[in-house]
Chain A
């Protein structure tokens, strides 16, 4: 299934809308989840006998539960505004990767069974029976959508293909045809606390190693606390931050910021994962189970605030859904939003003049910034709309001398997905991932050529992993992707241990005792 015999698309100077080539990605489907991964999440282990009926019934259930789905299935006029907006279409040229065509795979079945016109004159209105071929198309092409919402920005009715992809994946899970990558990971996170399945001793080991490393580097004992009761801040961060590059450099950055601000903080081994793949498979129940772990961790540890590390879809679930799924959070300090993003946390400190930076530490780099899709189009930071664009950029500018934005069509609300989001960050989809990165790579190439950009910063664990993997396909280096808090980490000026911190309050006593 994992086809390594493919050609990396050529980088063009200006983005062109490609001519469509039918079925060129029909072979790209991820591994199907085995019985054990399915059943852990409450889904049937394999395709059920009467799958057509179960799927059709589930479709009806979902249109009763989600207004978005019902309205989106009815409202599309096939105007074509979205057809050139998906990075997977631009990168693969397969017409079924045009947002409307992807939606229509689902919509044509909805029309056949749930609309009068589809029941009476299916051919006329493009309605179709749910056949095995249609199911195969669903599995193939709803796993070629990263749920990045770029299409929804440009649709005159705000139709969001992500909503339809999520619904389609939930229907497929319900009939026993789930995706291995997502479902295996959700199972791990629900039992072990994180997507990687890292047990508590491994976490402790990693964090101790980091403490030593940072002390060696800086001469300052910066702590990486785990499961410490009474800490003010509970940090929830993607588990990739514990070991992957450049994620881990971001984690070091958060720790230095907490250290410098004198804020006591802790991570949790029970909720050691910010990512929530329940969203990718459209499962409210599974998403909620993962979110409730965070609530429980906050209560058990007696935290006053919840702060999230750099992760795109995790921030969507945190910012937009956490209060819904696991709220109300009335037991936390009402002075702060619940939850906060680490970028908001650091930005506030910069605004208050509490952090000092030596920007020259990053002078070996010329930076650009990749807006992660879920942060850009499905969340916010700060008090005003668009804070999710300005705050990360302000952090970069506070810690670097050289920063240039990519062209306007490829950033902020128009940003292109990295190509690996939405539960597609798996090796069995590598061709899709490489091709889907094309629009971002083209935009990057422009600032590399024009402004001498050497590195691209991001605040998403999936983006960082994806770019590390696909940059080399486009003749860049894998380490040209960096974490925003890695830049903060490089530039932040740490106060030596013996300095007393005048801003500390009683909440930080524990930390200071430990640190002394």
Chain B
């Protein structure tokens, strides 16, 4: 079991990193030939940075759009962020002091995350418009995240796993040493579902995570009259005139 999970973990990490690098490279290499910021848009780079920060931290556009999706989406994402940061304690020794500090917040953030996911799933089932646009993978993605969050919370608050052995196993993986892994089923389900999530990340809608940084309607400066903006392939049209 220790070896199987180690192999899966390494494979998933490789898929995640290589897949994401491939996609991000594609986004960088593909030009944005026209200025298409959704206006009113900032007229300076720093203004754009501020706009992006607002999108990333308070989901500004989503807030304007729909308060329920915003609430559930925000609860989920920031619950997840805290939970992930808390998990750094299993990969560092000694544990960084700020990770120690957020430990209690990170523990209870699991509930925010689960509540957000449940709300999103409920909307997907109940609201006719959202049901119409949902593919099976849209439900499965939420179920997978609920499974990860649910098994995690279960281990935090109910059936604790042998956390010392687990940490030793994870620290071992980081130096390519396979140590023993606790085998209680809740932990194994938790780890297996995380590995699955990592593996499908670069081929699924989870690409919205890198995608949001490359969205021309949000990250372009509104200055087309002041600065000429032209793509490489468009310059070729000019030379052929």
CB of A3 within 8 Å of the partner chain: no
Interface residues of B in 113-155 (CB under 8 A from A): 120, 123-124, 127-130, 132-138, 140
| Sample of 9 A–B contacts (CB below 8 Å) | A20-B132, A66-B33, A70-B26, A84-B129, A116-B203, A156-B55, A158-B216, A378-B38, A385-B41
Which residues does chain A contribute within 8 Å of B128, judged by CB atoms?
Answer: 19-20
B217 and A324 contacting across the interface, CB-CB below 8 Å: no
Q: A80-B127, A320-B224, A323-B229 are in contact. Are A126 and B135 (CB under 8 A)?
A: yes
B66 and A321 contacting across the interface, CB-CB below 8 Å: no
How far apart are the CA atoms of A116 and B66 in the complex, in Å?
A: 32
A157 and B212 contacting across the interface, CB-CB below 8 Å: yes
Select one of B62, B73, B234 contacting A324, CB under 8 A: B234
Q: A98-B133, A156-B73 are in contact. Are A76 and B208 (CB under 8 A)?
A: yes
How far apart are the CA atoms of A237 and B35 in the complex, in Å?
A: 22
Q: A80-B69, A156-B62, A385-B40 are in contact. Are A324 and B211 (CB under 8 A)?
A: no
CB of A448 within 8 Å of the partner chain: no
Q: Please name the 5 residue pairs, one residue from A and one from B, whose CB atoms are nearest each other, closest first.
A: A126-B135, A75-B211, A154-B65, A158-B217, A385-B40
Give residues in A with beta carbon < 8 Å to B: 17, 19-20, 63-68, 70-72, 74-85, 95, 98, 100-101, 104, 115-117, 123-126, 149, 152-160, 163, 284-285, 288, 319-321, 323-324, 327-328, 337-339, 376-380, 383-386, 388-389, 413
Q: A65-B30, A70-B26, A116-B203 are in contact. Are A80 and B130 (CB under 8 A)?
A: yes
A67 and B27 contacting across the interface, CB-CB below 8 Å: yes
How far apart are the CA atoms of A339 and B225 in the complex, in Å?
A: 7
Which residues does chain B contribute within 8 Å of A413, judged by CB atoms?
Answer: 38-40
B4 to chain A, nearest CB (A): 23
Which residues does chain B contribute within 8 Å of A288, judged by CB atoms?
Answer: 237
A124 and B33 contacting across the interface, CB-CB below 8 Å: no
Select one of A64, A75, A324 contacting B215, CB under 8 A: A75
CB of B233 within 8 Å of the partner chain: yes
Q: Name the residue of chain A whose CB is nearest to the CB of B138.
A: A78
Which residues does chain B contribute within 8 Å of A82, judged by CB atoms?
Answer: 65
A80 and B123 contacting across the interface, CB-CB below 8 Å: yes
Which residues does chain B contribute within 8 Å of A68, judged by CB atoms?
Answer: 32, 36, 215-217
Interface residues of B in 36-83 (CB under 8 A from A): 36, 38-43, 55, 59, 61-62, 64-66, 69, 73
Give residues in B with beta carbon < 8 Å to A: 23, 26-27, 30-36, 38-43, 55, 59, 61-62, 64-66, 69, 73, 120, 123-124, 127-130, 132-138, 140, 200, 203-205, 207-208, 211-212, 214-218, 222, 224-231, 233-234, 237
Which residues does chain B contribute within 8 Å of A76, judged by CB atoms?
Answer: 205, 208
Q: Name the residue of chain B whose CB is nearest to the CB of A155.
A: B61
Select one of A153, A285, A380 contacting B222, CB under 8 A: A380
A75 and B225 contacting across the interface, CB-CB below 8 Å: no
Which residues does chain B contribute within 8 Å of A116, judged by CB atoms?
Answer: 203
Q: Name the residue of chain A whose CB is nearest to the CB of B207.
A: A74
B204 and A117 contacting across the interface, CB-CB below 8 Å: yes
A303 to chain B, nearest CB (A): 16
Which residues does chain B contribute within 8 Å of A65, judged by CB atoms?
Answer: 30-31, 33, 231, 233
Q: A378-B39, A385-B39 are in contact. Are A337 and B225 (CB under 8 A)?
A: yes
A269 to chain B, nearest CB (A): 23
B168 to chain A, nearest CB (A): 35
Which residues does chain A contribute within 8 Å of B43, judged by CB atoms?
Answer: 383-385
B39 and A376 contacting across the interface, CB-CB below 8 Å: yes
How far apart are the CA atoms of A21 and B105 in the complex, in Å?
A: 45
B225 and A338 contacting across the interface, CB-CB below 8 Å: yes
How far apart are the CA atoms of A74 and B128 in the complex, in Å?
A: 24
B72 to chain A, nearest CB (A): 9
B207 and A324 contacting across the interface, CB-CB below 8 Å: no
Identify 20 new A-B residue pairs, CB closer than 8 A, beyond the known A75-B208, A324-B230: A70-B30, A71-B216, A77-B205, A79-B120, A80-B123, A81-B61, A81-B66, A98-B132, A116-B203, A124-B136, A153-B38, A154-B62, A154-B65, A157-B212, A158-B215, A321-B224, A324-B228, A379-B39, A385-B40, A385-B41
How far apart are the CA atoms of A72 and B217 in the complex, in Å?
A: 10
Q: A126-B135, A324-B224 are in contact. Are A71 and B39 (CB under 8 A)?
A: no
A63 and B39 contacting across the interface, CB-CB below 8 Å: no
B33 and A74 contacting across the interface, CB-CB below 8 Å: no
B34 and A321 contacting across the interface, CB-CB below 8 Å: yes
A158 and B218 contacting across the interface, CB-CB below 8 Å: yes
Q: A70-B30, A319-B225, A328-B228 are in contact. Are A81 and B65 (CB under 8 A)?
A: yes
Residue of B120, B140, B200, B208 with most chain A CB atoms under a 10 A cut-off: B208
Select one of A71, A149, A320, A376 contacting B211, CB under 8 A: A71
Select one of A125, A157, A338 contacting B135, CB under 8 A: A125
Select one of B55, B133, B136, B140 contacting A100, CB under 8 A: B133
How far apart are the CA atoms of A124 and B124 in the complex, in Å?
A: 16
Q: A19-B128, A324-B229 are in contact. Are A123 and B30 (CB under 8 A)?
A: no
Residue of B34, B216, B222 with most chain A CB atoms under a 10 A cut-off: B34
B136 and A123 contacting across the interface, CB-CB below 8 Å: yes
B132 and A95 contacting across the interface, CB-CB below 8 Å: yes
A152 and B38 contacting across the interface, CB-CB below 8 Å: yes
A286 to chain B, nearest CB (A): 12
Q: A153-B61, A156-B62, A324-B234 are in contact. Are A70 and B27 (CB under 8 A)?
A: yes
Q: Name the residue of chain B whose CB is nearest to the CB of A279.
A: B34
How far apart are the CA atoms of A442 and B151 in the complex, in Å?
A: 50
How far apart are the CA atoms of A283 and B69 in the complex, in Å?
A: 35
How far apart are the CA atoms of A249 and B208 in the complex, in Å?
A: 48
A152 and B137 contacting across the interface, CB-CB below 8 Å: no
A372 to chain B, nearest CB (A): 12
B133 and A101 contacting across the interface, CB-CB below 8 Å: yes
B229 and A160 contacting across the interface, CB-CB below 8 Å: no
Select one of B33, B55, B135, B229 contacting A284, CB under 8 A: B33
Which residues does chain A contribute within 8 Å of B132, judged by CB atoms?
Answer: 20, 95, 98, 101
Which residues does chain A contribute within 8 Å of B33, judged by CB atoms?
Answer: 65-66, 284, 324
B114 to chain A, nearest CB (A): 18
A312 to chain B, nearest CB (A): 13
Select one of B30, B62, B212 contacting A64, CB under 8 A: B30
B208 and A95 contacting across the interface, CB-CB below 8 Å: no
Q: Name the residue of chain B whose CB is nearest to the CB of A121.
A: B137
Q: A101-B132, A126-B137 are in contact. Are A157 and B215 (CB under 8 A)?
A: yes
